[in-house]
Structure 1
């Protein structure tokens, strides 16, 4: 078994993190009080008990309920900075975080409130903790493409602070092709593209994300393992997969973490990475996800996962090289310790 200090000390990036999904029960309770919002829970313990669900839709129901306590720039700033403080202890040196503006604009919170609050929290994390970050705007796939276009238009003044667009929320029945035009518009605006596909949806959704949306990175992608041709394509293209073990287990994408496909992905040459998805709801932050699959992997595989996290990031080549050098230095020092 790998020493825990190796897992936490290994420099790593997180590429699949929904910032609203880092809302801890204590934060929900505190933000509700601060904003004088009534919530159907009388204690932190009651909220924690509600963070129990058996499938994606049940999770999304409590997720959107929790997000309702986020009302001000201060809330979004505090939410982001709390996340960065937690993962600083996990060895995270760079993170690319998702946010769902439609979740907020639909309840009357201006786009600017969420965007400016998150950007301020990200700037504070870099200044205080040395963690760099990028922001990814996700469209909610259960809504229509017209709504996504409206959100993209709202985001235009922040395009210099938004690295990419993504696609999340309920996957089944909402194929990537539903958002082909808005992704094309985002590409024309110079934004990178990512999309959740192959979590609950079939391998064909992964193909659509690649062919129709032109994604630069694949979020989840577990079900690509059901299609040999798709595996070969992902390997040959060097497509990064942002895999989320604890999320997969909590949402029953895998029944047993001992059967998680991460080891098979690496063995096949896929550029897989480890991420936490919605850590407050799924039982752990980034290092917890590394620990969850550590019994399946050796030291070299862990190093590969960390390297993949930077190779699959939207950092510049020079920034990636600097991060890879940090990994090499850590590994060398650990070997001689």
Structure 2
């Protein structure tokens, strides 16, 4: 079996995806026209031409410009539905989607309306496609603690439909420790918690996310290999890392995919997963991330299978559902890999 075929057949999850960042260029142009937005780019080609980023801040500027077209309930609903239908083509079966209500607020859009549209779009499409998952409400760390607490109050009416709290946006200058109170409140509500740490920020941010915010999972986390003690802890405690390889290359965290450290982290026993982050900006959805990593880093079929397993192990699924998906993976292995191994014996 070729790597591409195995990747397609394996059920997978996506644990690190920003729904606003899933907007395709054609959607940006369509929504701008529909909403009569004075948008600086008239065609898809003009827009794609600026998708070159020097760093996270440069990407953020384009991201914010594109997000100005997201104004109505229909926009947020269609955006969520389109992402789920697209990623289901990659045999992604479970998604944990991040949405940042503060981004809507900053444009004068009702965060409650936007969140409700995302929730409705997720729930309707999950039922349609037989998928599982949930919504992670993201706090934009550059807006500070007080704004994050305000956002938490705004989403309170939807708390039973929300899976987790996340911490995103630019890391440097906004260490996780600043948001301890926010995360304490989210845990009191019964939510899971995740935080971006160790992408552009140092390994110390990962320590803070674990020890101060007490997160269940680290988003990115790739700079952990600068700290051997942290590497050992992550491996021992099996803290999930939601790694986004193509995103890391596009944002210059690594110079090229063949220099990425995900294979090294996997082989060191860390619970790493593969995700797409903001796929239209970074060159591919989940399967493309898997495929490029396998080609550039020499991942074996067994390692590809382990990454698929990790995606369910690191998810917020209940144990029965998790074991069901893992059994599906083992069925693919039995059907596709074991006969090959027997023929080569």
Checking the alignment, whether the CA contact within 8 Å between 2:3 and 2:301 is kept in structure 1 is no
Distance 1:216 1:171 in 2: 18
**Which residue in the other structure is 1:108 paired with?**
108
Checking the alignment, whether the CA contact within 8 Å between 2:53 and 2:59 is kept in structure 1 is yes
CA displacement at 1:10 relative to structure 2: 0.8
Distance 1:73 1:331 in 2: 42
**Which residue in the other structure is 1:208 paired with?**
208
Distance 1:113 1:284 in 2: 29
**Which residue in the other structure is 1:76 paired with?**
76
Q: Which runs of 4+ in 1 moved over 4 A?
A: none
Distance 2:111 2:231 in 1: 38
CA displacement at 1:23 relative to structure 2: 0.7
Q: Residue by residue, what CA displacement relative to the aligned partner does 1:124-162 show, whole Å, maximum 9, x if unpaired?
A: 222222121210011111111000000000111111111
Distance 2:78 2:9 in 1: 25
**Which residue in the other structure is 1:133 paired with?**
133
CA displacement at 1:72 relative to structure 2: 1.3
Q: Secondary structure at the match of 2:70?
A: coil
Checking the alignment, whether the CA contact within 8 Å between 2:139 and 2:167 is kept in structure 1 is yes
Give the one of 320, 327, 331 matched to 1:325.
327
Does 1:9 pair with 2:9?
A: yes
Structure 2's unaligned 5+ residue stretches are 341-345
Checking the alignment, whether the CA contact within 8 Å between 2:14 and 2:95 is kept in structure 1 is yes
CA displacement at 1:275 relative to structure 2: 0.3
**Which residue in the other structure is 1:307 paired with?**
309
**Which residue in the other structure is 2:250 paired with?**
250
**Which residue in the other structure is 2:174 paired with?**
174
Checking the alignment, whether the CA contact within 8 Å between 1:125 and 1:132 is kept in structure 2 is no
**Which residue in the other structure is 2:24 paired with?**
24
Distance 1:222 1:139 in 2: 21
- 1:1-337 map, 5 Å: 2-295=2-295, 296=297, 297-335=299-337, 336=339
Q: Secondary structure at the match of 1:139?
A: strand
TM-score, reference length from structure 1: 0.98
TM-score, reference length from structure 2: 0.95
Distance 1:2 1:73 in 2: 42
Checking the alignment, whether the CA contact within 8 Å between 1:21 and 1:63 is kept in structure 2 is yes
CA displacement at 1:25 relative to structure 2: 0.7
Checking the alignment, whether the CA contact within 8 Å between 1:35 and 1:69 is kept in structure 2 is yes
Q: Secondary structure at the match of 1:135?
A: strand
Q: Residue by residue, what CA displacement relative to the aligned partner does 1:50-91 show, whole Å, maximum 9, x if unpaired?
A: 222211000000101111111111111110111111111111
Q: Which moved more, 1:156-165 or 1:111-120?
A: 111-120
What is the root-mean-square deviation of aligned Cα atoms in Å?
1.2
Checking the alignment, whether the CA contact within 8 Å between 2:101 and 2:112 is kept in structure 1 is no
CA displacement at 1:37 relative to structure 2: 1.3
CA displacement at 1:283 relative to structure 2: 0.8
CA displacement at 1:212 relative to structure 2: 0.7
Checking the alignment, whether the CA contact within 8 Å between 2:3 and 2:294 is kept in structure 1 is no
**In 2 relative to 1, CA 2–60 (structure 1 residues): closer, same or farther, beyond 3 Å?**
same
Q: Secondary structure at the match of 1:160?
A: helix
Q: Which moved more, 1:103-112 or 1:243-252?
A: 103-112
Distance 1:53 1:121 in 2: 30
Distance 2:332 2:258 in 1: 28
Q: Secondary structure at the match of 1:165?
A: strand
Structure 1's unaligned 5+ residue stretches are none
